[in-house]
Amino acid sequence: MGVVVSLGEGARKDKSLEPLMALVADDMQRVNEVILSMARSDVEMIPELAGHLINSGGKRLRPVLTIAAAQMCGYTGASHVKLASSVEFMHTATLLHDDVVDESDLRRGKVAARILWGNEASVLVGDFLLGQAFRMMVETGSLESLRILANAAAVIAEGEVMQLAASKDTSTTEDAYLEVINAKTAALFSAAAEVGAVIAERPHDEQAALESFGRNLGVAFQLVDDALDYSGKQSLLGKSVGDDFREGKITLPVVLAYRRGDTEERTFWKRTLEAGDQQEGDLEKAISLLERHRALTDTVERAHHYGAIARDALAIFPESAHKTALMQAVDFCVNREH
Amino acid sequence: MGVVVSLGEGARKDKSLEPLMALVADDMQRVNEVILSMARSDVEMIPELAGHLINSGGKRLRPVLTIAAAQMCGYTGASHVKLASSVEFMHTATLLHDDVVDESDLRRGKVAARILWGNEASVLVGDFLLGQAFRMMVETGSLESLRILANAAAVIAEGEVMQLAASKDTSTTEDAYLEVINAKTAALFSAAAEVGAVIAERPHDEQAALESFGRNLGVAFQLVDDALDYSGKQSLLGKSVGDDFREGKITLPVVLAYRRGDTEERTFWKRTLEAGDQQEGDLEKAISLLERHRALTDTVERAHHYGAIARDALAIFPESAHKTALMQAVDFCVNREH
């Protein structure tokens, strides 16, 4: 039940993340060291639980954005490593708190921390990582970076609450859903990219360009995530297919299928997602409805649209290996299958 | 079953908070306005849930410390109001996350937010308030205050995890317990007081004095809290008597009674707190054991000791209405009955 990805005009043949990863490899090694050192604590449970997530092989896309943006902007100091580590800690803290909120059993293909250590520990270790993130930001002495990342922290939480409040409403509009993912996902992508230009003390237009690049990439990334949740291969995805469905989450594929469906179909979505009354075979029926209405394909199409905006945002930068690699990273994100 | 408070040498007759509250009243009115404004959000659940706690009539001791310290240090700007509001938000966020961790039903005499809005919302609104706290700190432009408060945020969470890990160990030593409350309670009291001197750009010895004052006051405050949990009047306390017992928390009264008790008594503490096997009449038995071993009285005695250190820390400041009022606040905290 793989989704047929529509390769729109914006899609590129080379969709690999590798060129970007090669450019940031040395600095990301430093980020890794800082992360390990800042997750340390005499309270054993902290490095254990943090390490469970930190070592689970995520792509670390968000800190990569910070490092790549700073490098592209010609930054030669060391603060970008601290900012990138802060960004990853903010992300990890969000994941820990999300698992508690979503009652997830799997995260990145591993048993969720909350199952192994309990909800309490997930909440508190998330708080610890958030505190450590702010300590690192303070060490850079960049008040503007602090402003951007503190703002992102508040906006992300606001977006999560928004989703919580909207999560049982199948009649959510596409606009309302975009508002949610702008807050809960795109805010950190945009902050991660923007602080790269800020720490390099580049002019406002370059900061704004990276902010826009990160924001649109984040939206595209989340939309592809939403489609993959119904169509991905579990072994590659690192989470269970149908997680969003089981948790009653209203994502764009559902928003589209609900609007395009008939009364009987809407009743199905209301029963399974709003009322949470799910039976054997419901996930399969949901997937067939999503396919019938092209909801997964169109969700990926929408992702291509935001990917194109992200690429255009970068256009003001002179050609460079970093610019090319960031463009390719957009293609990777919208075309990925896991 | 009220505890007989032993009025040691350090105790003063006038133990009212009123003189301090009168000195900070105008600025605390501003803090109140900032708090209401920063708890605002288009996502309705946020101001609703935040307001539930914010309006529940706490004494706001922590932000009062920031305001009083800044005023005593002759500060004439407006940033102390933002720092004080940040401190209160950090505290509120901790309370929200604590309720999830402790599975409490009551908080400050009101139904806990997690019961009304769910654990998820408590976690996320806590995160939102923490993000807003950092935004306010950034607005002050004081990197040193940011450093102190970010550090406190990490230490508080670390202390909570420490308590979680130790919470089922009746053989916890008094030292180990002090380490926990230094982190989970005293860290914010000390940061709250210290930033008052920092924002006023006072010399290091005054910053250190206020740090020490806040730390020792925080320890004393927590110890009295621990004693009151077994002896307070529920109507005044704003939480249920015996909460710590029911949650299996090992606090100083238990640490003392366990060490001073015989084998049969230790078996009782292990069954009720470590194994969590509690029966009708166990709380009453716990209280009678605590009284038999003077554990509540001695916990309050210990609090007097830290209160005395707090008062001496302030000695380097010239006499002033603020200094006198802060001294009286110590007496209030160690002698309070709710």
* B187–A contact, CB cutoff 8 A: no
Q: Where are the domains of chain A?
A: 18-331
* A116–B contact, CB cutoff 8 A: no
The pLDDT, as a whole number, for residue A226 is 95
Pick the more confident residue, B136 or A167.
Answer: B136
Question: What gap in Å lies between CA B40 and CA B48, rounded to an integer?
Answer: 9
The pLDDT, as a whole number, for residue A190 is 98
**Between B94, B150, B161, which is nearest A134 by CB?**
B150
Alpha helices in chain A (DSSP H): 18-38, 45-54, 61-72, 79-102, 113-117, 119-140, 143-166, 174-181, 187-199, 204-231, 234-237, 243-246, 252-260, 263-269, 282-292, 295-313, 321-335
Evaluate whether A283 touches A318 at the Cβ level (below 8 Å).
Answer: no
**Between A41, A151, A162, which is nearest B135 by CB?**
A151
* A41–B contact, CB cutoff 8 A: yes
CA of residue A220 relative to chain centroid, distance? 9
Evaluate whether B306 touches B216 at the Cβ level (below 8 Å).
Answer: yes
Evaluate whether A307 touches A223 at the Cβ level (below 8 Å).
Answer: no
Residue A25 pLDDT > 70, yes or no? yes
The ipTM value here is 0.86
Judged by CB atoms closer than 8 Å, whether chains meet at A132 and B154 is answered as yes
Interface test with B, best of A135, A140, A172, A188 (most B CBs within 10 A): A135
3-state DSSP assignment of residue B247: coil
- As a CATH number, domain A18-331 is 1.10.600.10
pLDDT digits (tens, 9 = 90+) for A27-55: 999 999 999 999 988 888 888 888 887 77
Interface test with A, best of B97, B100, B123 (most A CBs within 10 A): B123
Q: Supply A100's token pair.
A: 């508690």
Highest mean pLDDT among A106-115, B114-123, B219-228: B219-228
- Taking the alpha carbons at both ends of chain B, their separation in whole angstroms is 14
Domain B18-322, classified CATH 2.30.29.30, yes or no: no
Relative to beta strand A110-111, strand A106-107 is: antiparallel
* B176–A contact, CB cutoff 8 A: no
Residue A8 pLDDT > 60, yes or no? no
Interface test with B, best of A101, A127, A139 (most B CBs within 10 A): A127
The mean per-residue pLDDT over the stretch A151-158 comes to 96
pLDDT digits (tens, 9 = 90+) for B242-277: 888 988 889 999 999 999 999 999 999 999 999 999
Question: What gap in Å lies between CA A250 and CA A244, rounded to an integer?
Answer: 8
Tell me the shortest Cα–Cα distance from A141 to chain B, in angstroms.
7
**Between A128, A138, A155, which is nearest B157 by CB?**
A128
Find chain B residues with C-beta within 8 A of A101's C-beta: 119-120, 123-124
pLDDT digits (tens, 9 = 90+) for A99-148: 776 666 666 566 777 777 778 888 999 999 999 999 999 999 999 999 99
